[in-house]
Structure 1
Amino acid sequence: MASITSISAPPPPPPQWVLDLNSAPTTKPKTGNFPDPPGYTAPLSAKQSSKSSKAQPTPSRKPPTTAEMDTLKLKKAWELAIAPAKQLPMNAIGMYMTGNSLQIFSIMMVFMLFKTPITAILTMQPTFARFEPGDESKRGSFWLTKIVFIAMNCLALALGIWKVNGMGLLP
């Protein structure tokens, strides 16, 4: 019997994009009169980067003063205080979309509408503790952020009461 031997052809060469990915990137010469954007640094080769790192240490940013930190903390506290008001339109649309009938989805939505502001008010001290200013003069405005936080959560509770009234559960 004659055996059939198969002669396999060499595999085809890989496509050009595979060759481009496997090769080292080529640096393109800078053409045109456009300056580099602010903050852009051209990539350095390994030799150049080791030489420049030994020659010049990177400048470090100076730490902020306590007044700047207190101002930043107060801004973040105000963002946190107003955050419940940003959720009110979304919650109102959700309450409108669930309808006034007693269904599991609408009951769960109302439950979450009551649970979220109550837990936020009860955990207000740990929430605002990291934003406590070190300067005594900023304490008055810090208390005002807490009052606004409570007021915004009370608005969310009022939305829940409106929804429960619409469902016919309030006498």
Structure 2
Amino acid sequence: MASTIQPPTPRWLVDLTSPAPKSKVGALPDPPGFSAGAVAKSSNKSKAVAPRKKPSEEQMDTLKIKKAWELALAPAKQLPMNAIGMYMTGNSLQIFSIMMVFMLFKAPIQAIFNIQGTFQRLETETNKSQMLAVKAAFIGCNLLALALGMWKVNGMGLLPTTHSDWLAWEVAREPIERAYFVSS
């Protein structure tokens, strides 16, 4: 029979599980404001934590409105980063810039279509009127992101904003003068 030999316990584990030494001969002094008694008392308090009181309906509505405002303003917080990304991709037609513009249009449109699902868990009968303003702010922030996308598409030259962009739609014009070849 082979006996199993236990490896020695690591020093850090011994130090962690053993109580702190009482004498500090040659050791560093405690930092200012530290007392070992206060640490022992606070560790005893943490074991006997009283249960938290359940918040009232009014407090829950207030917390839900605060969370809804955080969700509503989140698209506005992404605008500076999106603007920097749009600036960095340049105005040429490349796959990277086209994909960035596509994602810039896709995210706000999806967010606007899913607005009810976004705020559904936060909306109650008592805070419905306040949620209308939150939803309007959410739509406004997403419309700003769409405006950023329109700025980028215009910078890339993909929006028909000049007269020459619409030449194909004009009716064929008759020239004012005609040149006739006259033989002499």
Give TM class, smaller chain: 0.7 to 0.9
Contact 1:73-1:133 within 8 A present in 2 as well? no
2:22 equivalent to 1:26? no
State the identity as a percent.
Answer: 57
Structure 2 Cα separation of the partners of residues 72 and 163 of structure 1: 37
What pairs with 1:57-96 in structure 2 (closer than 5 Å)? Answer: 58-96=49-87
Matched residue, 1:48 = none
Q: Segments of 4+ in structure 1 off by > 2 A? A: 17-37, 40-44
Aligned to 1:124: 115
Gap regions ≥5 residues in structure 2: 1-7, 24-29, 161-184
Write the deviation string for residues 118-140 of structure 1: whole angstroms up to 9, x where unpaired. 000001101100110342xx322
Gaps (5+ residues) in structure 1? 1-13, 45-52
CA RMSD of aligned residues (A): 2.7
Shift of 1:163: 0.2
Q: Out of 23-32 and 154-163, give the one that drifted further.
A: 23-32
CA deviations on 1:54-109 (whole Å, 9 max, x unpaired) are xxx64211100000000000000000000000000000000000000000000000
TM-fit CA distance, 1:26: 2.4
Work out the CA distance in 2 between the residues paired with 1:95 and 1:144: 30
Which amino acid is 2:147 matched to?
A: A
**Structure 1 residue 42, shift from structure 2 partner:** 2.7
Call closer, same or farther: CA 1:43–1:27 in 2, change over 3 Å.
farther
In the superposition, relative to structure 1, how do residues 126 and 33 fare at CA in structure 2: closer, same or farther (>3 Å)? closer
Separation in 2, partners of 1:142, 1:155: 20
TM-score, length of structure 1 as denominator length: 0.73
Larger Rg: 2
Whether 1:153 aligns to 2:145 is no
Normalised by the size of structure 2, how large is the TM-score? Answer: 0.68
Q: 1:104 aligns with which of 90, 95, 98?
A: 95
